[in-house]
Structure 1
Amino acid sequence: MSALLIANGHVVDPAGKVDGIADVLVENGVIARVGKNLKPKSAQVVNAKGKLVTPGLVDLHVHLREPGREDKETIETGLRAALAGGITSVVSMPNTTPETDNQTVVEFQLSKARKLGLARLFVAGRITKGGQRIAEMWELKNTGAVAVTDDGHDVDDACLLLHSLEWAKTFDIPLITHAEIASLSHGGVMHEGKVSQLLGLQGQSANTEVLAIQKSIALAEEVGARLHIAHVTTARGVDEIRRAQKRGVRVTAEVTPQHVSLTHEECLGWNTSAKMHPPLREEEDVRAMHDALRDGTLTAIATDHAPHLVSEKLLPFQIAPVGTVGLETSFAVVNTYLIRKKVLPLKLAIERMTSGPASALGLPAGTLRPGAAADISIFDPDIRWIVDPWTFQSKGRNSVFAGKTLYGKATDVFVGGVPKLRDGVVL
């Protein structure tokens, strides 16, 4: 493999403590050097002047739907969508058909991703089999699962969750919890507040998340397990996490781009693209997410990419499925709503999309340090575009950002030093 030199870009690698104009030299698929005025004897040169060069983004929360719902998304279309968004590593959620609760499904997903040679796929296995008994965690980890989760549902049975955390600690595998008390949220189709009242829709109280976070933290603290809380949305929820972290609980947490940028007012007009789970909340919750990203309570921004059929999202709000796609808009949303508005400094925002999520699950990704795999994304942060889901690589057209103006797009992406996106086109 010939050497690659990415020259003259604004390189931001929080893990490597780099933030400035520099060159990145790649040799044999790994980072060789990062510095100014690098002059290798022979290398393919990519001029990144005026662009942002980062570690390939890492997304901890993606629904690829395969196996079972290939009409909504496939591993191939999902990983192509990731590359289009500058994401080189994704963690797939296990709510497939059959569910990812056994060795066979994990092997199938990893094998298919390897053969495709697109973005890197990491797999999360199920905590339980049908919410009734603990899945074979050692088998899942030994096959390649990097975490366990019942995402889409919480483990309601506290005793079952406690024993699951004990096994997760034994096998040293992170447990990701979907924080929701189902008996409280049952029937709720959006956030409980003035908008739900105006639309005449049953809402979900913030307590559904807050109480679930309290439960998960209390049990993880007792056991000493590694706990990661998915898609946090409430101000009181991040307060609980912040207090636990100060006590030394091994808990990390993520937030989605939509929950740091939009509120429940997006649901006005019965907009099913804004129907998601957990729901969009209120402005004070959005501001609390900003504070938590700044102070490190939330260390990861993850999309919760959830593709659905167009026909499903045309159903009445009460019965339309929950979720929005996000792989191809993630960076642009963060750039538009957080970086350009100076809610987060550039370096910190990139950290929350690279080394932060990688560290949460212990993934070998998210840095440009010498010796690391050369997973590199190049962005033009000033490109102005209007979101049109019909142009997506993803099969999903259900974007809550459809029609909105965003800034920033990936122009080039390398995985292991191999070009996968060139001039905005997936190769």
Structure 2
Amino acid sequence: MKIILKNTKRLLSQNEFQTCDVLIEDKKIKKINNTITEMADQVIDCGGNLLLPGFIDVHIHLREPGGEHKETIESGAKAAARGGFTTVCAMPNTNPVPDRVETVRNLLDKINKDAVVRVLPYASITKNLAGKELTNIKEIAKEPIFAFTDDGVGIQTAHMMLAAMKEAAAVNKAIVAHCEDNSILYGGVLHEGDVSKKLNLPGISSACESVQIARDVLLAEMTGCHYHVCHVSTKESVRVIRDAKKAGIHVTAEVTPHHLLLNEHSIISDDANYKMNPPLRSEEDQQALLEGLIDGTIDFIATDHAPHAEDEKATGFLSAPFGIVGLETAFPLLYTKLVKEGKMSLYQLVECLTVKPANVFQLPYGKLEEGSYADITLIDLNYEYTIDKHAFYSKGKNTPFHNDRVVGSPVLTIAEGKVVYELERHMA
């Protein structure tokens, strides 16, 4: 099937745009030119809107199998498409856990059947995410899995992390780490600081995250493993990662939209829509994260999309599960609160959502050029609206950004040459 996108523009550099048409055929971008006149099965007038590579999110939770009341592969993939994401990587905290070849293959079959965008699944580092016994990394790595992680829990012993890194390095796979030292967690539910004291809730110290990163970067240096840090949240973590990179250690890192845009003072009551792990930190931490993203210490942005049922989140900080949704709100929020406010450029934001995650993990996606996959997101930078959690495609409505006014939104998403999301009113 041939599709021609007419009357669009692409971002070439910080301040350079090119007006163009795009021909899509056989899942690939066949041609980009000022004007394309040949016949096609479908011609879409893009109304002068901005054409970008499909976004990449290496950190999401789809909950299936086992947590379908929170999210399914189908609903999560549709939410991703609505948010402009064409490649997403699904974490393994499901039931059963993808910790064996059989469960990985069953998951891949379900993804191939139900997902409208490209879903690359993780496998777990340890069996059943229990931290006690290593999975058969060598055998599982023969399957088309993205990387290995026990996201949701930190690997508690250096012995286990060292063994995992050795195995992963041998098969050229990354170890992706949720960094949290349980021995100094003390039942915390939000950042240990002014707000935890004000609300009389147990806090989570910054050291809980940073000490495990410090341990792991030295193990990564020892093994030569690619070590990737999930959802960095503290200034100390940024400092450790920066020093490790200067030392030539193969460490990379991500930051979430919510840690860039919110801090502990955003929490004004016992509202678990602000409960996530790691928690919202201090204003100092928030500033360090943005600085780290701009200077390249933190490599890119990932949402940590973590849907939960509304009744689960309604129980307050002490008992509600950690996590918020993020796929459908990431670009509008980041564009409105960072780009429009002059804290980063549009070009920098797009790189953090496309080419940078692709480069870090050597993925053949995140590009908008002839011969590349036809993974495309069309953005209306002038579209202003109010975030409404009730309109989400995701089953999860757990967001602290409900009713926020934003500008800039995906209006068309194409994954491997197929239209997977379209905001009808924007199309001619």
Q: Shift in Å at residue 18 of structure 1?
A: 7.5
Query: 1:206-264: per-residue Cα shift (whole Å, max 9, x none)?
Result: 11111111011111011110011000011121111111112211111000010110111
- Equivalent residue, structure 2, for 1:83: 81
What is the letter of the counterpart of residue 406 of structure 2? Answer: L
Q: Shift in Å at residue 40 of structure 1?
A: 3.8
Query: 1:349-378: per-residue Cα shift (whole Å, max 9, x none)?
Result: 101001111222222211112211101010
Change (3 A) 1:424 1:339: farther
Calculate percent identity across the aligned residue pairs: 38
User: Any residues of structure 2 matched to 1:206-221 within 5 Å, and which?
Assistant: 206-221=206-221
Q: TM-score, normalised by structure 2?
A: 0.95
Please say if residues 98 and 107 of structure 2, whose CA atoms lie closer than 8 Å, have aligned partners that are also in contact: no
Q: Shift in Å at residue 13 of structure 1?
A: 6.1
- Equivalent residue, structure 1, for 2:416: 416
- Please give the alpha-carbon distance, in whole angstroms, between the structure 2 residues aligned to 1:140 and 1:146: 11
Change (3 A) 1:47 1:185: same
- Equivalent residue, structure 2, for 1:94: 92
Q: Shift in Å at residue 51 of structure 1?
A: 1.6
- Please give the alpha-carbon distance, in whole angstroms, between the structure 1 residues aligned to 2:218 and 2:104: 30
User: Any residues of structure 2 matched to 1:121-270 within 5 Å, and which?
Assistant: 121-129=119-127, 130-270=130-270
**How many residues end up aligned between the 2 structures?**
422
- Please give the alpha-carbon distance, in whole angstroms, between the structure 1 residues aligned to 2:88 and 2:112: 13
- Equivalent residue, structure 2, for 1:9: 8
Please say if residues 232 and 238 of structure 1, whose CA atoms lie closer than 8 Å, have aligned partners that are also in contact: yes
What is the letter of the counterpart of residue 179 of structure 1? Answer: C
What is the letter of the counterpart of residue 49 of structure 1? Answer: G
Task: Give yes or no for the alignment of 1:42 onto 2:52.
Answer: no
Q: Shift in Å at residue 117 of structure 1?
A: 4.9
What is the letter of the counterpart of residue 42 of structure 1? Answer: M
- Equivalent residue, structure 1, for 2:407: 407
Which has the higher mean CA deviation after the structures are superposed, 134-143 or 389-398?
134-143
What is the letter of the counterpart of residue 104 of structure 2? Answer: V
Please say if residues 73 and 115 of structure 2, whose CA atoms lie closer than 8 Å, have aligned partners that are also in contact: no
Q: Shift in Å at residue 27 of structure 1?
A: 2.4
- Please give the alpha-carbon distance, in whole angstroms, between the structure 2 residues aligned to 1:304 and 1:379: 22
- Equivalent residue, structure 2, for 1:302: 302
- Please give the alpha-carbon distance, in whole angstroms, between the structure 2 residues aligned to 1:235 and 1:8: 44
- Please give the alpha-carbon distance, in whole angstroms, between the structure 2 residues aligned to 1:14 and 1:32: 22
Query: 1:3-25: per-residue Cα shift (whole Å, max 9, x none)?
Result: x222332313679x984333322
Please say if residues 14 and 348 of structure 1, whose CA atoms lie closer than 8 Å, have aligned partners that are also in contact: no
Q: Shift in Å at residue 266 of structure 1?
A: 2.5
- Please give the alpha-carbon distance, in whole angstroms, between the structure 2 residues aligned to 1:96 and 1:109: 10
Q: TM-score, normalised by structure 1?
A: 0.95
Structure 2, unpaired ranges of 5+: none
Please say if residues 228 and 360 of structure 1, whose CA atoms lie closer than 8 Å, have aligned partners that are also in contact: no
- Please give the alpha-carbon distance, in whole angstroms, between the structure 2 residues aligned to 1:117 and 1:187: 36
Please say if residues 307 and 323 of structure 1, whose CA atoms lie closer than 8 Å, have aligned partners that are also in contact: yes
Structure 1, unpaired ranges of 5+: none
Query: 1:38-80: per-residue Cα shift (whole Å, max 9, x none)?
Result: 3242233322234221110001101000000111110000001
Please say if residues 147 and 361 of structure 1, whose CA atoms lie closer than 8 Å, have aligned partners that are also in contact: no
Q: Shift in Å at residue 84 of structure 1?
A: 0.8
- Please give the alpha-carbon distance, in whole angstroms, between the structure 2 residues aligned to 1:9 and 1:174: 37
Q: Shift in Å at residue 385 of structure 1?
A: 1.7
What is the letter of the counterpart of residue 347 of structure 1? Answer: Y
- Equivalent residue, structure 2, for 1:397: 397
- Please give the alpha-carbon distance, in whole angstroms, between the structure 2 residues aligned to 1:265 and 1:153: 26
Query: 1:278-300: per-residue Cα shift (whole Å, max 9, x none)?
Result: 00111121111111111111122
What is the letter of the counterpart of residue 29 of structure 1? Answer: K
Instruction: Report the aligned-residue RMSD.
Output: 1.8
- Please give the alpha-carbon distance, in whole angstroms, between the structure 1 residues aligned to 2:424 and 2:251: 37
Please say if residues 31 and 370 of structure 1, whose CA atoms lie closer than 8 Å, have aligned partners that are also in contact: yes
- Please give the alpha-carbon distance, in whole angstroms, between the structure 1 residues aligned to 2:321 and 2:424: 31
Task: Give yes or no for the alignment of 1:62 onto 2:60.
Answer: yes
Please say if residues 380 and 408 of structure 2, whose CA atoms lie closer than 8 Å, have aligned partners that are also in contact: yes
- Please give the alpha-carbon distance, in whole angstroms, between the structure 2 residues aligned to 1:111 and 1:18: 42
Which has the higher mean CA deviation after the structures are superposed, 349-358 or 106-115?
106-115
Please say if residues 77 and 117 of structure 2, whose CA atoms lie closer than 8 Å, have aligned partners that are also in contact: yes
- Please give the alpha-carbon distance, in whole angstroms, between the structure 1 residues aligned to 2:213 and 2:12: 31
- Please give the alpha-carbon distance, in whole angstroms, between the structure 2 residues aligned to 1:180 and 1:370: 43
Please say if residues 10 and 49 of structure 1, whose CA atoms lie closer than 8 Å, have aligned partners that are also in contact: no
Change (3 A) 1:40 1:138: farther
- Please give the alpha-carbon distance, in whole angstroms, between the structure 1 residues aligned to 2:139 and 2:411: 39
